[in-house]
């Protein structure tokens, strides 16, 4: 199967590229930073460019995995770039619709699209109600959601907190002198390792399943429990980030870290088991070892 991975240079994209199964002819794209990925054909590509020949892409590839996400430093700029991404994906889906090849699309997006869901279990058929960064990112995703609703072959994988050495984790939990407990720490965190997510993406490609999916979680817990796990590994003290400190954060960042999303991965409560907790602890230890 000929597969194009848009965003191979990103944190999630690199994990997907590094775990490609046998039998796939994978091409990865990058925009600003060319990743060091052995045995992978890489091409410079700006999917926001209005001159992109999406028809040619649909003729070349059996599957396109979209792991890239247009980002910016402020909400206004995120909205602006997301509108450009929306237009790009509109042109892409139109090219697929009109093509005889019927390229299979896989889009990796975040669970923040569901909004703050408190304590209820969030299933894959949940209506979206974006919060935090997803209020911008959901703009770009709309053509893909619409394409799926129209009966075309699209898989939307809603990834929760994806933890890895190059993720949000070192910045939020390893670099500070103290481990943050955000507000009361009662919000649910659904966590998946970068490798587990990559494996799920490839299984979805192999099965060519259409729909909205949640990856199998590495662990699911309250934010305070996660902070205490990191504290035990790092031996740093915890610090509660209260209302006044939270107000200093950018609005989308604050909404993102406070959103409670208890993602349903179809495994009942397995993701809250002691065995899964030990797996996450081992991953935290591995990342911390490399970081320190």
**What's the mean per-residue pLDDT of the chain?**
96
Interval 99-134: pLDDT, tens: 988 899 999 999 999 999 999 999 999 999 999 999
pLDDT of residue 82: 97
pLDDT of residue 102: 86
Sign of CA dihedral 19, 126, 133, 47: positive
Contact 230, 284 (CB under 8 A): yes
pLDDT of residue 33: 83
Q: CA 10 to CA 119: how far, in whole Å? A: 31
The conformational region for residue 7 under phi > 0 = left, psi -120 to 50 = alpha, else beta, is left
pLDDT class for 17, splitting at 50, 70, 90? very high
pLDDT class for 39, splitting at 50, 70, 90? confident
Interval 257-290: pLDDT, tens: 999 999 999 999 999 999 999 999 999 999 999 9
Order across the sheet with 188-193: list the strands. 161-163, 188-193, 219-222
pLDDT of residue 34: 86
pLDDT of residue 130: 98
Q: CA 85 to CA 6: how far, in whole Å? A: 13
- Residue 211, pLDDT above cutoff 90: yes
Secondary-structure percent of the chain, ordered helix, strand, coil, rounded to 5: 45, 20, 35
pLDDT of residue 87: 98
pLDDT of residue 100: 86
Q: What phi and psi values does residue 279 have, to the nearest 5 degrees? A: -60, -45
SS3 assignment, position 48:
coil
Give the CB-side neighbour count of residue 121, counting CA atoms within 13 A: 11
Cα separation values, 222 from 73, 155, 184, 225, Å: 28, 28, 10, 5
* Paired tokens of 267: 């495994």
pLDDT mean over 154-177: 96
- Residue 22, pLDDT above cutoff 90: yes
Interval 70-93: pLDDT, tens: 889 999 999 999 999 999 999 999
pLDDT mean over 198-222: 97
What are the chain's domains?
2-163+191-213 (3.40.50.720), 219-291 (no CATH)
pLDDT class for 16, splitting at 50, 70, 90? very high
- Residue 184, pLDDT above cutoff 80: yes
pLDDT class for 15, splitting at 50, 70, 90? very high
* Paired tokens of 131: 């919060």
Q: Which residue has the tokens 């990743």?
A: 35
pLDDT class for 98, splitting at 50, 70, 90? very high
Q: Which residue has the tokens 């509660």?
A: 240
H-helix or E-strand spanning residue 181: strand 179-182
Interval 212-251: pLDDT, tens: 999 999 999 999 999 999 999 999 999 999 989 999 999 9
């Amino acid at each position: 199967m000929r597969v194009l991975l848009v965003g191979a240079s990103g944190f999630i994209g690199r994990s997907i590229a590094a775990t490609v199964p046998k039998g796939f002819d994978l091409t990865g794209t990058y925009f600003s930073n060319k990743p060091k990925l052995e045995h992978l054909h890489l091409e410079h590509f700006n999917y926001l460019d209005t001159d992109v020949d999406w028809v040619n892409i649909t003729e070349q590839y059996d599957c396109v995995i979209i792991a890239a996400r247009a980002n910016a430093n402020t909400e206004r700029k995120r909205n602006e770039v997301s509108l450009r991404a929306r237009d790009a994906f509109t042109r892409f889906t139109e090219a697929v619709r009109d093509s005889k090849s019927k390229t299979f699309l896989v889009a990796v997006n975040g669970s923040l699209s569901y909004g703050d869901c408190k304590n209820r279990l969030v299933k894959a058929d949940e209506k979206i109600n974006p919060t935090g960064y997803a209020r911008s990112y959901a703009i770009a995703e709309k053509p893909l959601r619409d394409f799926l609703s129209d009966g075309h072959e699209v898989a939307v994988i809603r990834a929760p907190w994806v933890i890895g050495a190059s993720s949000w984790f070192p910045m939020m939990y390893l670099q500070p002198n103290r481990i943050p407990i955000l507000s009361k720490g009662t919000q649910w965190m659904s966590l998946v390792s970068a490798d587990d997510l990559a494996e799920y993406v490839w299984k979805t490609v192999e099965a060519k399943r259409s729909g909205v999916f949640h990856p199998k979680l590495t662990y699911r817990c309250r934010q305070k429990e996660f902070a205490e796990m990191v504290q035990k590994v790092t031996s740093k003290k915890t610090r509660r980030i209260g209302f006044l400190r939270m107000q200093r954060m950018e609005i989308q960042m604050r909404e993102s870290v406070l959103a409670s999303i208890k993602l349903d991965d179809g495994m009942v409560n397995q993701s809250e088991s002691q065995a899964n907790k030990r797996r996450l602890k081992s991953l935290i230890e591995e990342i911390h070892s490399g970081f320190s």
